[in-house]
A and B are shown apart, each in its own frame.
Chain A
Amino acid sequence: MNLVYYALQQLINALSIGSLYALMAVGLAMVFGILRLINFAHGDLMMIAAYFAAFALFANLPLPLAIGIMIVGTILVGLIMERVAYRPIRGAPDVAALLTSFAVGQILQNGTLLITRLLQKPSPLAFPVIGILSGVFAFGPITVPRVNVVSLIAGIVLLVLLSLFVTRSNLGLSMRAAAEDLHAAQLMGIDINRVIATAFAIGSGLAAVAALLYAVQAGQLTPYMGFTPVLKAFIAAVIGGFGTIAGAVVGGYALGALEVFLTAIPGIGDILPPGLVSPEVQTFLKTWLPGSLTSYRDAFVFVALILMLLFRPGGIVGRREREEMQ
């Protein structure tokens, strides 16, 4: 039965990491959907969020207040970023927007570096321990880190709220319309500045929550920590189908599942209970899928990404290019 528990545990891990990727990818996808802008500063926004949370907790604020400050602060930074950096270049070639997003990222990184130096904080900065997010939950023989369970729940709750927002509210509907046809949306009487600001605000808020959970797992903060998450979010969004919220969510969970699978399968030969498979198979697994393969996980992820781009560039939920051309 060992194996069933192991599989269950990995499933929870997959869903929890998938939730984080989905939360991060949604912000990228919403902004890209409307503006055709790949906002690489999205990861740096997460870094800022983690610092907001850390400083609020260092000041001994209660956790809900610290989370509130983090979310509001990150949304403000996201809105300022849109207003100051992206709105003036709206309509410029895509490459200009992309380069601007790198510049914004650099400014956020160096700004954070400067402020932490001025405050004489070390880098990397240890993330404060949050009681209810540390330790493990034990469900019978299965033990899962609390932060994973919280990630899973937070991800599902927030994504359900988001889907209600985009399907039920007028503003959400306007957002989907703007993503499909910006000019036609304007002719409906939609204020696109408001819609774009909303997309940035929601994306920033979701990224902030993901950043907190990510920082708890990472345990430490640096001004450069945003790179890996934004890359993962980007991959997730591409795998799912770039530019749509559904694609970002599906891609997030697919990437989470893929990563956990790639971590869980190597070394499987070592944990199989004796007698479950024949010794030959066990030897085969130990030889060809050694635990050390785990360190190549990201390489396999990129292979999956390349295969996806080659054979289904529209992503899992995206329509095929051929259909779109008709």
Chain B
Amino acid sequence: MLELREVEVYYGGIRALKGVSLTIADGELVTLIGSNGAGKSTALKTISGLLRPKAGTILYNGQRIEGTSPHHIVGLGVSHCPEGRRIFGQLTVEENLRLGAVQRRDRDGVKADLERVYGLFPILKQRRQQSGATLSGGEQQMLALSRALMSRPKLLLLDEPSLGLAPLLVETIFNTIRQLKDEKTTILLVEQNARLALDVADRAYVMETGRITLDGPAAELKHNPQVEHTYLGT
């Protein structure tokens, strides 16, 4: 479904992605793990069109999308739930969700999906007229994830969904991710919590300073000594 080939991204003179290649098949849950500054978020931003690669190609269902503007990429079925949630604090919960479906023209479908995410996270329904800024961190993450689902994505990019959340909330979010996976949504998950990510993923890539250094089935990587030592702390 998605393929990155030798993608190079620069921030000014700094080379943030140094020839990154990865693939995600239909219905797969792939995780990208690595420490701070490894380039994981940069990779996601490049896929969703916020950043333009200087070299390399990005294929989405066989179509080249590097350099396409973000709203066209959303239109193709890619939804990016960004790091730090980035919900619209001055807008209500429901307005945030409506924005997630801003390109859709099927009103009834949007309504049905609104009920679907309210079913996933009933607390959001209770707070639907509240402004986003009044939500707790966990509720904001639920909102960010729900908002990303409102476009009915074929490919979901999740950036650090567990960041700064209490363990119980992390579990709620990851249960939802498992549920999405069971529904055959293709997911690229960026996580610092490698243990959680490897538990839920089919395959994994390990990134270090802008390069992919390891990849393989998640179950195997979990027992790779190097991964155990660096990312699992065992």
Contacts and interface: CB of A to CB of B under 8 A. Distances in A.
B91 A176 contact: yes
Interface in B44-103: 48-50, 69-71, 74-75, 79-80, 82, 86-91, 95, 98-100, 102-103
Contact of B99 (A177, A183, A191, A192): A177
Given A187-B82, A188-B74, A174 B102 contact: yes
B222 interface: no
Contacts of B147: 188
B151 A189 contact: yes
A176 B88 contact: yes
Given A176-B88, A180-B88, A183-B50, A189 B95 contact: no
Classify the interface of chain A: helix, strand, loop or mixed. Answer: helix
A151 B35 CA distance: 60
A181 B100 CA distance: 14
B102 A190 contact: yes
Contact of A173 (B75, B79, B95, B103): B95
Contacts of B69: 186, 191
A174 B90 CA distance: 13
A170 interface: yes
Given A176-B91, A189-B71, A189-B151, A181 B86 contact: yes
Contact of B70 (A170, A180, A181, A186): A186
Contacts of A174: 99, 102
B50 A188 contact: no
A188 B82 contact: no
Classify the interface of chain B: helix, strand, loop or mixed. Answer: loop
A190 B103 CA distance: 7
Nearest to B80: A187
A46 B201 CA distance: 58
B71 A186 contact: yes
Nearest to A174: B102
A187 B91 contact: no
A164 to B, nearest CB: 15
Nearest to B100: A188
Interface in A143-198: 170, 173-174, 176-177, 180-181, 183-192
A188 B48 contact: no
A249 B159 CA distance: 38
Contacts of A170: 98, 102
A70 B179 CA distance: 57
Contacts of B49: 186
Given A189-B74, A191-B71, A180 B89 contact: yes
Interface size class of A (residues with CB under 8 A): 10 to 19
Contacts of A181: 86, 88
Nearest to B45: A183
A189 B89 contact: no
A184 B102 contact: no
A173 B90 contact: no
B107 to A, nearest CB: 11
A188 B102 contact: yes
Contacts of B100: 188
Nearest to A193: B69
Contacts of A173: 91, 95, 98-99, 102
Contact of A184 (B71, B75, B82, B151): B82
B151 A180 contact: no
A149 to B, nearest CB: 35
Contacts of B50: 183, 186-187
Nearest to B147: A188
Interface in B99-138: 99-100, 102-103
B48 A189 contact: no
A176 B96 CA distance: 11
A190 B71 contact: yes
Interface in B136-177: 147, 151
Interface centre among B71, B75, B87, B147 (most CB of A within 10 A): B71
Given A177-B88, A189-B151, 4 more contacts: A183-B86, A184-B88, A187-B82, A189-B74
Interface of A: 170, 173-174, 176-177, 180-181, 183-192
30 contacts: A170-B98, A173-B91, A176-B90, A176-B95, A177-B88, A177-B91, A180-B88, A180-B89, A181-B86, A183-B82, A183-B86, A184-B86, A184-B88, A185-B99, A186-B49, A186-B50, A186-B69, A186-B70, A187-B48, A187-B70, A187-B80, A187-B82, A187-B86, A188-B99, A188-B147, A189-B71, A189-B102, A189-B151, A190-B99, A192-B71
